A and B are shown apart, each in its own frame.
Chain A
């Protein structure tokens, strides 16, 4: 039987860089030229299946990029297992903003958090202000994953989520339990194991 894990993922980044668009592409494979700015936080789920048939279910929190709501971001990234910090390759200021989010995450978030830096709007490469080298170098220095995407064309989108899934610690302690939404798991929760345990024929448990 294939294994199933569940992780909490949060998207951060300046307003209009395309966070909501990325999620929409990833979850529904759609794109919308006129998206309203997010005033709040949206919760969505999507599952990726890895080569070894392991499935990883992401609980995605898409946050508001507008400065005014910055103080609420910690509420959404706390307990997150992974974060996708997005910038717009056509706006160099958005990379600066992304860097400040990364610093905040490194300081405040769970120390084991997996962070991916994502340069979006790759389809507008002609108007590029942030070079691949610059971003990649920064990501390497900080030990982050990095990739470029286009929510519009879909390019790179599933790659970035798949690589995150691969990088997450897919080893769940057998005793892990609890509703994922109520108390997001610090590490992956193997849903199959849970189910088995629920049927009272669980494996060895040393608790």
Chain B
């Protein structure tokens, strides 16, 4: 048991002084017998009175003059987690003011310590100790009533009474006019401790909010113009707490993995007629399926038996037996709740017992593979194209057919799984299948659907979504295994957005609309929803939940985004299997979804793994199809997509993203993605205790009258030389030398200025430091293309003062300076030719040569071409294999300084040649304007002969012509070499996007194929 004084000190803030602290306990109810009878059966009163600590705490105000005291009673919290030793809360706080009084008395009979041996045997050692009674009367003017405690500590109590007397006398000498502050304002934070700290809500914060950097959510402020410090403190503190929970609680704990396989399939109104295993299981090598899918039986008629009246059957979750091989009947019981109009609430009270039974039902010869997904999330679109389906938004037999086909696709593994939930709206169906073994880990399932189709409400377009909680089971070996662990909220959205190439804006609007309207309404349950055991704060939320109020959100579906390139381009790019990789990369640049994300019109902050598969739309058969099977009337596109977004409370790693060409029954190919989701296994109690403990240090800091004090060191940061693509990092420490937690933020110098110069990055830009602690802030210079192009033509000496504002405190300055080293990268060719020498020797941007004295072509490009011509024509993989970063840096440095290329013995190694090749590509790609200006691209793409192409060169600036001719001559030569035989096409494909860099903002891209042809006239 810790010393009362230490505990009191631990609980109180550093601004306070614990004068005396003694052990005490509540007065045992001696004459309780009578009372007990009245409260028969009630054993709420603990048999041993809880330990309490009685303390006198004083606080000297910032003015150094006024000292005020308060008597605290701390009480031991009912044990939540035994590993946290000092879990005390403030039970009472009585300010020592005029009416306050404290007195002690000795009860008439001394209490016998029952734990002592019978009197007489060892009475000299174990004398019953005297219990003193303390009565505290807070005074009539206060809202508190008197309390009585007992203590053994006579000495301590005497000192305690003396302190109270001293403080009360001190208080009596003061008059209210003496100070311009609330004298007992410092006590408020202790009482505020009972307020619910943020982060204890069972609703995860909106993911979109989490993705916005904290500083963008703070009030507007600048040097000398603090914003709303109080509200800033709240935001910064919450973020700090969240970090703390992530770094100290989640990071160190046990992890639970959840393998989720997500699939989307626009089935074009068809019934399943093919093996779906490639889609539902992945193309894993496996033994031949033990269970042959009963494909023939999968007609709507044959489903008669298990089928209920679709109108009556409005529940999303149903007997999983429907979709399963007949031998795998589940013995589970569950109660289903009613449904509201669009929202479904499914109450899954599956007891562990039956879940186990279900597992044992599985035939012993079906072992689990680590690669088996734990959860299958399948989204279908155009399940039903009939008019009836649109009019009566009901469940159809098709759901069962597709579920059955999905289970069939799982082959021999099917018996391990069962359907957990589903939600359908007209043609859209979202099905969630989980391993039976994990069934009891999922709870509080909600579903919703929203139509955004005809008239903005019909279900021909829209989305269905399911939200559920995943509560990991702690491993039995975990030392401190909690029965109830903290759940993770997972949400899945299956959407079908507006069709047709030109409906790009409508798709974006659909996304925005769905983001708004997909709201899970609170549960309307038939039975009383029992909150999970002992998690009082964690009861099913009564609030409606946005899809973004999740820990992880997966958005799948036929999003219908198309490619903006001309039809012929797309077809020929996808047809060429020699250049598949580079062509797919090229196509990705013209993907409407990529552009929507870039311009933040839709799916902002979502993550999508770069696509490597062919467009999944639109296939046709016979004469209507091109050589690849794509419908001649529709431009191929990646309509079927899977994206996600997650908070830091979970880790989501995508393992695959593929389309499945073997499943040909629809005009779309199904697409799948596999995710490894990792969540922390943290007991709810442990979590709550942790948050409370962290909260205790920082709650109510905005109301403490002491000013925060920090020291910033150093206040002068010189980066010396900074250069293109080289990061330099310096660290400054923000040390809290005061007594109160300090939250800080960097602010701009003026209302219209930026918080930091473009060449610098500050991390973190906001923060919180506890007394005696320090936070390291890193300052990183990072010069990318855009910045280099500005810095190259500006002054080399960079200097700035950063302003660090401490909330409710002062501003601190940090002077930063750097010397920029110019580079030939990220400039224009017309500027490069006016350089009097190597770019690094340029003292001032004004020192460039007049235009009429410029050179023919940029020296830097010529040096690279010449070197490659003499050293790299035999190099295998030149321009195709990426070069070594360090070698590239050296080459760049030589170009900038005019230094000789000197690679010593390595000179002849192919890695040097590859690095030179890559450097040339990078240099060309970094030019502020491509070698062929965008305005000429449409004409280039239309040239139909070599001669025409040569003629067009007349319209280029002379510098560009010179570069073009030398480059293409070299590439032509290369194409003739043994090492590059048959590589002409690859060279063309690689150089086209560089020499003809696209203006991505243009809505109608110029044909890639046309531009490739143009280049081919020169090097082919």
Contact B226 A72 (CB under 8 A): no
Binding site secondary structure of chain A: mixed
- Nearest CB in chain B: distance from A152 CB, A: 18
- Docked Cα-Cα span, A43 to B226, in Å, equals 10
**Contact assessment for B228 and A75 in the assembled complex, using a CB-CB cutoff below 8 Å:** no
Q: Which of B522-530, B615-623, B804-812 contacts A (4 or more CB under 8 A)?
A: B804-812
Residues on B with beta carbons closer than 8 Å to the beta carbon of A39: 712, 715, 812-813
B366: chain A residues within 8 A (beta carbon): none
Binary per-residue interface labels of chain A (28-58) against chain B in the complex, 1 for a CB within 8 Å, 0 otherwise? 1010000000011111000100000000000
Q: Please state if B226 and A181 are interface contacts (CB–CB under 8 Å).
A: yes
Report A77-109 CB contacts with B as 1/0, cut-off 8 Å. 110000000000000000000000000000000
* A40 CA to B801 CA, complexed, in Å: 10
Cross-chain contact of B801 among A30, A42, A71 (Cβ < 8 A)? A71
B contact residues around A40 at 8 Å (CB)? 712, 803-804, 810-813
- Contacts A39-B712, A43-B809 aside, 6 further interface pairs with beta carbons under 8 A come to A41-B810, A41-B813, A43-B810, A69-B815, A75-B224, A75-B750
Residues of chain B lying within 8 A (CB to CB) of residue A47? 180
10 A-B pairs closest in CB distance: A75-B223, A40-B812, A76-B224, A42-B810, A75-B224, A41-B811, A40-B811, A39-B715, A40-B813, A39-B813
- Chain B residues contacting A75 (CB-CB under 8 Å) are 222-225, 749-750
Identify which of B222, B225, B801 contacts A69 (C-beta below 8 A). Answer: B801
- Determine whether A64 belongs to the interface, using a CB cutoff of 8 Å to chain B: yes
B815-A68 in contact (CB<8A): yes
B742 CB to nearest chain A CB (Å): 13
Pairs across A and B, CB under 8 Å, 28 listed: A28-B63, A28-B64, A30-B64, A39-B813, A40-B803, A40-B812, A40-B813, A41-B223, A41-B810, A41-B813, A42-B810, A43-B810, A43-B811, A47-B180, A61-B224, A64-B813, A71-B801, A72-B749, A72-B803, A72-B813, A75-B750, A76-B224, A77-B224, A78-B224, A179-B228, A181-B226, A182-B225, A182-B228
Please name all residues of chain A whose beta carbon is closer than 8 Å to the beta carbon of B225 when the two chains form the complex: 75, 182
Q: Mark A125-162, 1 if CB is under 8 A from B, else 0.
A: 00000000000000000000000000000000000000
| Contact partners of A76 in chain B: CB under 8 A | 223-224
A64 to B224, CA, bound (A): 12
> Cβ of A28: which chain B residues have Cβ within 8 Å of it?
63-64
Determine whether B227 belongs to the interface, using a CB cutoff of 8 Å to chain A: yes
A162 to B319, CA, bound (A): 84
Query: Which chain A residue shows the least CB distance to B715?
Result: A39
Chain A residues whose CB sits within 8 angstroms of the CB of B749 once the complex forms? 71-72, 75
CB neighbours of A42 from chain B (8 A): 809-811
| Distance in angstroms between the alpha carbons of A77 and B223 in the assembled complex | 10
How far does the Cβ of A19 sit from chain B's closest Cβ, in whole Å? 13
Chain B: minimal CB distance from A64 (Å): 6
* Distance in angstroms between the alpha carbons of A75 and B749 in the assembled complex: 7
A117 to chain B, nearest CB (A): 22
Check B226–A182 contact: CB distance below 8 A. yes
- Tell me the complex Cα distance, A71–B804, Å: 16
A28 to B706, CA, bound (A): 13
For A43, list chain B residues within 8 Å (CB): 226, 809-811
- Min CB distance, A175 to chain B, in Å? 22
Asked if residues A41 and B815 are in contact (CB atoms below 8 Å), the reply is no
Residues of B within 8 A of A64 (CB): 813
Count residues on chain A whose CB falls below 8 Å from chain B CBs.
21
Q: In the complex the two chains form, what is the Cα distance from A43 to B815 in whole Å?
A: 20
Q: A35 to B812, alpha carbons, bound, how many Å? A: 16
Q: Which residues of A contact B809 (CB under 8 A)?
A: 42-43
Inter-chain contacts of B810 with A (CB < 8 A) = 40-43
Interface set of B (CB-CB < 8 Å, partner A) = 63-64, 180, 222-229, 712, 715, 749-750, 801, 803-804, 809-813, 815
Shortest Cβ distance from residue A73 to the other chain B in the assembled complex, whole angstroms: 9
A61 to B750, CA, bound (A): 16
**A residues in contact with B227, CB < 8 Å:** 182
CB distance from A69 to the nearest CB of B (A): 6
The one of B63, B712, B801 in contact with A72, judged by C-beta atoms closer than 8 angstroms, is B801
In the complex, the answer to whether B223 meets A72 with C-beta atoms within 8 Å is yes
CB distance from B60 to the nearest CB of A (A): 13
Q: CB within 8 Å of B: which of A6-31?
A: 28, 30
Residues of B within 8 A of A30 (CB): 64
| Residues in B neighbouring A78, C-beta threshold 8 A | 224
Q: Please measure, in the bound complex, the distance between the C-alpha atom of A13 and the C-alpha atom of B143, giving whole angstroms.
A: 52
CB distance from A47 to the nearest CB of B (A): 6
Chain B residues with CB under 8 Å of A72's CB are: 223, 749, 801, 803, 813
Q: Which residue of A lies closest to B814 (CB)?
A: A39
Q: For the complex, give the distance between the alpha carbons of A28 and B180 in Å.
A: 13
Contacts of B223 in A (CB 8 A): 41, 72, 75-76
Per the bound structure, the CA–CA distance linking A185 and B513 in Å amounts to 44
Q: Is the CB of B224 within 8 A of A41?
A: yes
Complex Cα gap A71–B800 (Å):
10
The interface residues of chain A lying within 8 Å CB-to-CB of B180 are 47
Q: Quote the shortest CB–CB distance from A77 to chain B (angstroms).
A: 8
The smallest beta-carbon distance between B222 and chain A, in angstroms, is 7
Q: Report chain A residues within 8 Å CB of B228.
A: 179, 182
Roughly how many angstroms separate A77 CA and B803 CA in the complex, as a whole number? 16
Chain A residues positioned under 8 Å from B815 (CB to CB): 68-69
Interface centre among B222, B224, B813 (most CB of A within 10 A): B224
A72 to B63, CA, bound (A): 30
What is the distance, in angstroms, from B221's C-beta to the closest C-beta of chain A? Answer: 9
CB distance from A182 to the nearest CB of B (A): 7
Q: Which residues of A contact B64 (CB under 8 A)?
A: 28, 30
Bound together, the chains give a CA A106 to CA B227 distance in angstroms of: 27
- Distance in angstroms between the alpha carbons of A69 and B809 in the assembled complex: 19
Question: CA separation between A179 and B809, bound complex, in Å?
Answer: 16
Bound complex: CA A118 to CA B225 (Å): 25
Which residues of A lie under 8 Å from residue B222 when comparing CB positions?
Answer: 75
Question: For the complex, what is the distance from the CA of A47 to the CA of B63, rounded to whole Å?
Answer: 13
Q: Complex formed: what's the CA distance from A76 to B222 in Å?
A: 10
Complex CA–CA separation, A77 to B224 (angstroms): 8
Closest to A77 in B: B224
How distant is the Cα of A2 from the Cα of B64 in the complex, in angstroms? 27
Residues of B within 8 A of A71 (CB): 749, 801
Return chain A residues, CB-CB under 8 Å to B803: 40, 72
Q: Which residue of A lies closest to B812 (CB)?
A: A40
With a CB–CB cut-off of 8 A, which chain A residues contact B804? 40
Give the residues in chain B near A61, CB-CB below 8 Å. 224
Least Cβ–Cβ distance between B482 and chain A, in angstroms: 46
Give chain B nearest CB distance to A158 CB in angstroms: 15
Contacting residues of chain A (171-198) with chain B, CB-CB under 8 angstroms? 179, 181-182
Nearest B residue to A61 via CB reads B224
List the A side residues contacting B811 at CB < 8 Å.
Answer: 40-43
Question: A28 vs B750: C-alpha distance in the bound complex, in angstroms?
Answer: 30
Whose C-beta in chain B lies nearest to the C-beta of A42? B810
Considering the complex, give the chain A residue whose CB is closest to the CB of B226: A181
Q: Distance (Å) between the CB of A8 and the closest chain B CB?
A: 9
- Cα(A61)–Cα(B811), bound, Å: 10
B63 cross-chain contacts in A, Cβ below 8 A: 28
Cα–Cα distance between A198 and B657 once the two chains are bound (Å): 60
**Smallest Cβ-Cβ distance to A37: which chain B residue:** B715
Complex CA–CA separation, A198 to B811 (angstroms): 32
A22, chain B: closest CB distance, angstroms:
16
* Complex Cα gap A131–B227 (Å): 43
Bound: A30/B712 CA distance, A: 24
Q: CA–CA, A143 to B743, complex, Å?
A: 42
Q: How far is the CA of A40 from the CA of B226 in the complex (A)?
A: 14
Q: Give the CA-CA distance A80 to B603 in the complex, in Å.
A: 46
A69-B64 Cα distance, complex, nearest whole Å: 32
Chain A residue with Cβ nearest B177: A49
Cα of A181 to Cα of B222 in the assembled complex, Å:
12
Which B residue sits closest to A69, measured CB to CB?
A: B813
- B812: A residues at CB distance < 8 A: 39-40
Looking at the assembled complex, report how far the CB atom of B332 sits from the nearest CB atom of chain A, in whole angstroms.
60
Interface string of A60-72 (1 = CB under 8 A from B): 0100100011011
By beta carbon, the residue of chain B nearest A55 is B180
